[in-house]
Structure 1
Amino acid sequence: MRIRRLSDWLPTTNKEVKLRGWDELDVILFSGDAYVDHPAFGPAVIGRILESYGLRVAIVPQPSVHDNLQDFTKLGTPRLFFGVTAGCMDSMVSNYTASKRRRDKDAYTPNGDKGFRPDYATTVYTKILKEKFPEVPVLIGGIEASLRRVTHYDYWSNKLMPSILETSGADMLVYGMGEQPLREVVELLQKGIPFSSLKTIKQTAVLLEEGEKVPKNKNWQDVEISSHEVCLKNKKAYASNFKVIEQESNKLYARRIFQDVGSKKLMINPPYPTMTEKEIDGSFDLPYTRMPHPKYNKRGAIPAYEMIKFSVNIHRGCFGGCSFCTISAHQGKFIASRSQESVLKEVDELTKMDDFKGYLSDIGGPSANMYQMKGKVQAICDKCVAPSCISPVICSNLDTSHKPLTELYQAVDKHPKIKKSFIGSGIRHDMLVPEFNKNADPKELDAYTEEVMTKHVSGRLKVAPEHTSDPVLKLMRKPSFTYFHKFKERFDKINKRRKLNLQLIPYFISSHPACEPEDMANLAAETKDMGFQLEQVQDFTPTPMTVATVIYYSGYHPYTLKEVKTPKTKKEKLDQHKFFFWYKKENRQWIKDKLTKVGRTDLLQKLLPPDNSWRKNKPGKAKNTFNDAVTFKDKPSRRKNKGFKKKRR
C-alpha cells in the first residue's frame, strides 16, 4: 500500500502552497470540476503540464460564486496568469438535459451533487477574476471555451452568441488539447515577453481591439468569415461560416481565421500539428496520483472518476467527423496514439492501486478502434480538407489495420495482475465490415471482432448505427444501415460458433436534422424485424460547433447551403418518440392514424399487423446500463456485467 502525502496533489489552499515551501504562485487554475488528479481530467492535465515546465501551479476547483467570492482571492495574484476552464464538459451540457431540464446530478462533483458549477462557468469565473484582478491576464481553455471560440448557437438561451472571448473578457483562448500551445506560451513568458504580445501562437485565439494592427506571420494565409453582426441578421451567412471553421480546424496547414465582433476583430490562429507519439506519451506519463484530492474523502465518490478509475485512454482524435459530435472539433480528426510501452506502464500503475481487483473497465478512446490509424501517404493528408476520413466512403489513403490494436489488447492481458480487460468505448462497427472497409484484410477484421467478443465484452457489445434512413445517415456522415445488418451477421456467426450468448446493443438518435416521422416509423419497423424492442432513445441535443447544430438553428446545410428541415417543437419530437414505442397501448391508434394518413400502410403492417402477432412474438427483456442511450428488450445475459456506465459523447 502506497501512502500518499497531501503535497502529492497540486495545492488547492494556502496551507498546501506553504507545504511545498512556496511564497508565490506562477499560475492559478480555476475549474468547474472537482479536482481529480488523473490524465482523463483536463484541469489536472493542464496543471501537471505547467508543473512539468517548472512552474508553481495551484488549482481552485469549483469556486463558490454565491458568497463573498473569497475562493477567487484566497491564493493571491499569480506571477504569470490565471487559467480558467468549465471542466471536462460544457457547463450547459453538464447542467441541463436535451429537454432543457436541470439535471439531478453532476458527475464531476462528489456524491454527484448539483449546484457547484454555474451556468456558462468559463464566462462567470473569468468576469469575477477580471473584476478582482484587472491587470492579471486570464487564459481560458477546455471544451466549453474551445467549442465557443467563434459565433455559435447556444441551445439553452436559443440565440447566437459571439466568441466566448467577447462575453467573458478573457485575454486569450486555447482551443483543442492544450499541451502544445501552453508550452509556447510559457516559454515566451519565461523569456520576458509580455502576455499582451502573445498574438501569433498556434491553436490560440485573441480579440484585437479597434484599430489594433493585425500581427504578421509570413507562413500563414488568412481567411475572413462573416461578422457576428451579419450572422445575427443572416442565418445563411452564419451557416456558410461553419464550413470554413470546420475545414480549417481539421487541416494540417490551416489558414488563420478572422471575424469582426462589433468594433473588435477575432483572430483564430491555425492549430498545431497532431501530437507525436513522444508528445502524447509525455502527457500521460506525468506524475498523476490518479485519485481525487483528499479534501473530498468525506463528501462521497465522484461519479465520473468511478466510471474511468480503472480505464486506460490509448489515443486522442476521431476521423469519423459525425455531424452531431464535437470530438473532432476539439481533439481533431487526426489520431494521436500512445506507444504500447506508455499504455502498459499505465496499466501497471493501475494494478498497484489498493482497490484494484484485476479488471480494466476500458481500453479505448473517442472511438475504441482507431488506435495507430493514419494516412499511408502523409503528403495526401497534408492537402486534405475533408471533415471525415470514412464518410461517405473510407479514404483509400487511410490505414485501417486493426493489428496494432489487437496486439495491444493481448499485451495488456499478459500482465499477471489483469484478469480481464473490457472495451467500454464505442466501437466503429462499420470499419469491421469488409464490404465497407474495402482497404482492409477481412481476416484481420474478423480477428479483431473475435478478439473483442471473446475476451473484452461482458454480455453486451455497443455500437452506434444511429439511424436506418440513408438520407439522415448521409447528413450524419454515417454509413448505410445495410452495413449494420452485415456486421450483425458476422456478430451472430461468431456468437453462435463460440457459444458466447452476447447481446448486440445499437444506439439510435431521434429528432436529428433531416429526420421525418416516416423515417422514425421505418426505424421502428426495421429494428423490430431484427428482434429489437426499443425502450429509450437519445434525443438530439444541439451543442456548439457541430454541423447538425448549425442546421438546427439556421435551417441550412453549411456545405451546400440547401434548406434542411429539422424537428424542433416539443410535439414534433414527441411524435418521433412515439414510433419507438409502437408496442405501447396508448400509441397504437396514433400510429395507425399517422401512417394511414401518409399512405404508409406497409410500415403499419410491419409495426402493428392486423392479426396482433406482434403481441405474441414480443422479444424478451434486457436493460442497457448506458446513460442517455437506447435500451432494448431481449434475452438477458447471465454474465455479471463488470463493465461500467459511460456517457456517449
Structure 2
Amino acid sequence: SRRPAAGATGASRRAAASSPRLDEAAFPPLTAEAARARGWDQVDFVYVSGDAYVDHPSFGSAIIVRLLEAHGFKVGVIAQPDWNDDASVTVFGEPRLGFLVSAGNMDSMVNHYTVAKKRRRQDAYTPGGEGGRRPNHAAVVYGNLIRRTYKKTPVILGGIEASLRRLAHYDYWSDKLKRSILLDSGADLVSYGMGERSVVAIAEALDAGLTAADLTFIPGTVYRTSDLGSVVDYELLPSWDEVSADKRAFAASFATQYANSDPFTGTRLVEPYPNGVYVVQNPPAEPLTTPELDAVYRLPFTRAWHPAYDAAGGVPALDEVRFSLISNRGCFGECAFCALTFHQGRIVQARSHESLIEEARALVDDPGFKGYIHDVGGPTANFRGPACAAQLRRGACPSKRCLAPEPCRKLEVDHTDYVALLRELRALPGVKKVFVRSGVRFDYVMADPDRTFLRELVAHHVSGQLKVAPEHVSRRVLDVMGKPSHEVYEAFAAAYEEENRRAGKQQFLVPYLMSSHPGCTLADAVELAV
C-alpha cells in the first residue's frame, strides 16, 4: 500500500505519491530474509540505529553502511529495535566482526525533549513521524541491550550522541555529570567525530584478526584500559572523582578536551576512573580531502526511505533534505555554544563542483523534483575551504578564533568559489531556483570587500527571508559567545537592505537571538529585549 499514515506530514505524503516504488533489494538488508536473498549466511556488521533507515547522504547511518559495503563488508541494519525485547537485536544473529551502534542523526534526548524539558509529540526520523520509537539515551540502552545477549562481540558506538559524550560530560536533562558513554554502554570503542576514516580502520583491523582490545591505535576513537604502560604521549585529565566534586575541575577538563579537538595539534587524552579504569581518547581523525569527500557522495544511495515504511507515509526527516545539497562540513566560526567544532572540527572540507553538479543532475531526474534546490550548504553555507592555508599544515590555532572578536589577519575571505558554484547550479536545465537556507555567516560576508556574493544571494538565492544568527546585542555576552559585535550585524542588515533595493525586492532578515546564554545577566536580557 502507498497510503500514508495519519501522522505523516503533507510533504511525506506527496513524496510517497511522487516517488517510484523501489525494490527492497536496492537497500541494505533490514531483515534476515533480505540478507539471505543476497546469499549471505552471516553479516560482518550489524548497524543498530535509533532512526528509521533512510538511504540518503544526509543520514549518518546510510553513509557508514554504504561506505562499509564499498570496502567489501556485509552490513545488516536493525532500525529502531524494541529496547524492551532482547530478541530485537538478534535479527541477523551474531555478526562476524561486530555491532555498530548509533542513537541516530540527533541526540536522542534532543529528539525527545524541548529545551524546557517538555516531551515532543513527534519524531521526524520515525515512519509517519510517530514518537516513542527509541529510548532516552539510546546509545547506552542499545549497547547494554546487545551486551545482554552477545557478551564478547565487539560493540562500537558512533554518531552525534556518542561523540559528544565520549568523556565525562554534563547532562542537561538530569542536571548531573555523567561518565564517559563508553563505560555506561558496555561498548568496546567510541568512534567520535565524522567517522568515515575510523570506521573503515576499525573494520579492516577486526577483519585482519585483531580483537577489540587490540584497537588502541586508531585516530578518532576512544577506548578503555586498566594499564597505561602502553599509552604514550598523553595528557592526563582530572579524574572522574575530581570533576564530580569540583565544577572548576570539570571546566578545566573540558577546556583541555576542546583545545585537543584538532587532528594536527591534538594529543591523546586520558581520563581516570575509580578502580584503576582509564578512558583514553586518541587524537581526532584527519579531515577528508575533497576527492575523498566526493567519493562518499558517489556511493550508491537510493536517496529514499526503505520501502518497508511506505505504508506509514515514509520518514518525514527526508522532506527537509530530499532536494538539498551538502557542500561542506566543519566550521571555523567556533561559536562557544555550538557542538559543531567538537564534532566536525574547525577545518572546513568542501566537495568539488563536479560532485555537486552530478548530484544536482540526479535531483533533476527525480520524479518529485519541481525545479527548486532547497539548499546548498552545510554547517555554514558560505564557507568553502579552510580559514587559512596554514590549517592544513599545522591545524587550527588552539587559542585563537578565526572570526571573533575580530577576523584574524590571516583569514582568507573569498566567496568566489561559492558564487561560481551557485551560478553553475542555477544554470542547469530543469533547475528553476537555487536557495541558500543553511546559515550564512554574516561577519564573513562583511569581511569580504567584494559584494558580489551578497548581491547574488539577494537576487537569486533567498526565498523571501534570510535567517542569520547575531545571537545577542550585548558586547559582553557576544564576547563570551565568540560572536562579532552587534555593529557588524547592523552593518550587514544595512547592506542586505541596500542590495534588496538594488534588486527591486522586498525580502526580510530574520535574526536568531539567544536570551539566556551563560554569562548573560538580567541587564543584558533587558538590552536584548529593547
TM-score range, shorter chain: over 0.9
Residue 34 (structure 2) aligns with: 16
- Contact persistence 1:250–1:387 (CA under 8 A): no
| C-alpha distance in structure 1 between counterparts of 2:206 and 2:146, whole Å | 20
- Contact persistence 1:249–1:271 (CA under 8 A): yes
Shift of 1:386: 3.1
- Contact persistence 1:370–1:400 (CA under 8 A): no
The match for 1:233 among 245, 249, 252 is: 245
The one-character-per-residue Cα deviations of 1:327-361 (angstroms, maximum 9, x if unpaired) are: 11110010011111111111111111111111111
Residue 458 (structure 1) aligns with: 463
Residue 514 (structure 1) aligns with: 519
| C-alpha distance in structure 2 between counterparts of 1:213 and 1:475, whole Å | 37
The one-character-per-residue Cα deviations of 1:82-136 (angstroms, maximum 9, x if unpaired) are: 0000001111111011111111111211221100010000000000101110010
**2:265 is the counterpart of 1:253:** yes
| 3-state SS of 1:515 partner | coil
The alpha-carbon distance between structure 1 residues 141 and 214, as it changes in their structure 2 partners (threshold 3 A), is farther
Residue 338 (structure 2) aligns with: 325
- The within-5 A match list for 1:184-263 is 184-209=201-226, 212-216=227-231, 221-263=233-275
- The within-5 A match list for 1:585-604 is none
- The within-5 A match list for 1:146-161 is 146-161=163-178
Residue 12 (structure 2) aligns with: none
CA root-mean-square deviation: 1.5
The one-character-per-residue Cα deviations of 1:200-232 (angstroms, maximum 9, x if unpaired) are: 1111000113xx344345xxx310110111111
| 3-state SS of 2:514 partner | strand
Amino acid at match of 2:61: P
Q: Percent identity?
A: 39
The one-character-per-residue Cα deviations of 1:368-422 (angstroms, maximum 9, x if unpaired) are: 1111243133577437213632122222222221100000000111110111111
Shift of 1:194: 2.0
Residue 109 (structure 1) aligns with: 126
- Contact persistence 2:262–2:396 (CA under 8 A): no
**TM-score (normalised: structure 1):** 0.77
The one-character-per-residue Cα deviations of 1:500-552 (angstroms, maximum 9, x if unpaired) are: 11001111011111112221222222xxxxxxxxxxxxxxxxxxxxxxxxxxx
Unaligned runs of at least 5 residues, structure 2: 1-18
| C-alpha distance in structure 1 between counterparts of 2:392 and 2:501, whole Å | 44
| C-alpha distance in structure 1 between counterparts of 2:179 and 2:22, whole Å | 45
Residue 36 (structure 1) aligns with: 54
Amino acid at match of 1:76: G
The alpha-carbon distance between structure 1 residues 379 and 397, as it changes in their structure 2 partners (threshold 3 A), is farther
| 3-state SS of 1:399 partner | coil
- Contact persistence 2:387–2:402 (CA under 8 A): no
Residue 160 (structure 2) aligns with: 143
**2:108 is the counterpart of 1:95:** no
Residue 381 (structure 2) aligns with: 368
- Contact persistence 2:347–2:396 (CA under 8 A): no
The alpha-carbon distance between structure 1 residues 320 and 358, as it changes in their structure 2 partners (threshold 3 A), is same
Amino acid at match of 1:98: V
| 3-state SS of 1:101 partner | coil
The alpha-carbon distance between structure 1 residues 379 and 100, as it changes in their structure 2 partners (threshold 3 A), is closer
| C-alpha distance in structure 2 between counterparts of 1:129 and 1:329, whole Å | 28
Residue 309 (structure 1) aligns with: 322
The match for 1:337 among 340, 343, 350 is: 350
**2:101 is the counterpart of 1:84:** yes
* Structure whose alpha-carbon radius of gyration is higher: 1
The one-character-per-residue Cα deviations of 1:5-63 (angstroms, maximum 9, x if unpaired) are: 21111100011111211111000000001100010000111111111110000111111
The alpha-carbon distance between structure 1 residues 326 and 415, as it changes in their structure 2 partners (threshold 3 A), is same
Residue 62 (structure 1) aligns with: 80
Amino acid at match of 1:266: V
The alpha-carbon distance between structure 1 residues 214 and 129, as it changes in their structure 2 partners (threshold 3 A), is farther
Residue 470 (structure 1) aligns with: 475
**2:485 is the counterpart of 1:480:** yes
Amino acid at match of 1:255: T
- Contact persistence 2:373–2:431 (CA under 8 A): yes
Amino acid at match of 2:197: Q
Aligned residue pair count: 511
- Contact persistence 2:347–2:391 (CA under 8 A): no
Amino acid at match of 1:270: P
| C-alpha distance in structure 1 between counterparts of 2:462 and 2:229, whole Å | 54
- Contact persistence 2:386–2:392 (CA under 8 A): no
- Contact persistence 2:86–2:146 (CA under 8 A): no
The alpha-carbon distance between structure 1 residues 478 and 516, as it changes in their structure 2 partners (threshold 3 A), is same
The alpha-carbon distance between structure 1 residues 56 and 340, as it changes in their structure 2 partners (threshold 3 A), is same
| C-alpha distance in structure 1 between counterparts of 2:40 and 2:396, whole Å | 49
| 3-state SS of 1:75 partner | coil
| C-alpha distance in structure 2 between counterparts of 1:83 and 1:480, whole Å | 44
| C-alpha distance in structure 2 between counterparts of 1:396 and 1:458, whole Å | 34
Shift of 1:195: 2.3
Amino acid at match of 1:356: F
Residue 291 (structure 1) aligns with: 304
| C-alpha distance in structure 2 between counterparts of 1:149 and 1:330, whole Å | 11
Amino acid at match of 2:45: V
- Contact persistence 1:372–1:405 (CA under 8 A): no
Amino acid at match of 1:285: R
| C-alpha distance in structure 1 between counterparts of 2:369 and 2:378, whole Å | 21
Shift of 1:262: 1.6
The match for 2:193 among 162, 176, 181 is: 176
Amino acid at match of 2:512: Y
The one-character-per-residue Cα deviations of 1:277-313 (angstroms, maximum 9, x if unpaired) are: 1111111110000100000001124221111110000
| C-alpha distance in structure 1 between counterparts of 2:346 and 2:23, whole Å | 40
**2:500 is the counterpart of 1:495:** yes
Structure number with higher relative contact order (C-alpha < 8 Å, ≥ 6 residues apart): 2
Residue 405 (structure 1) aligns with: 418
Residue 6 (structure 1) aligns with: 24
**2:420 is the counterpart of 1:415:** no
- Contact persistence 1:377–1:397 (CA under 8 A): no
- Contact persistence 1:28–1:60 (CA under 8 A): yes
| C-alpha distance in structure 1 between counterparts of 2:35 and 2:492, whole Å | 55
Residue 278 (structure 2) aligns with: 265
- Contact persistence 1:199–1:215 (CA under 8 A): no
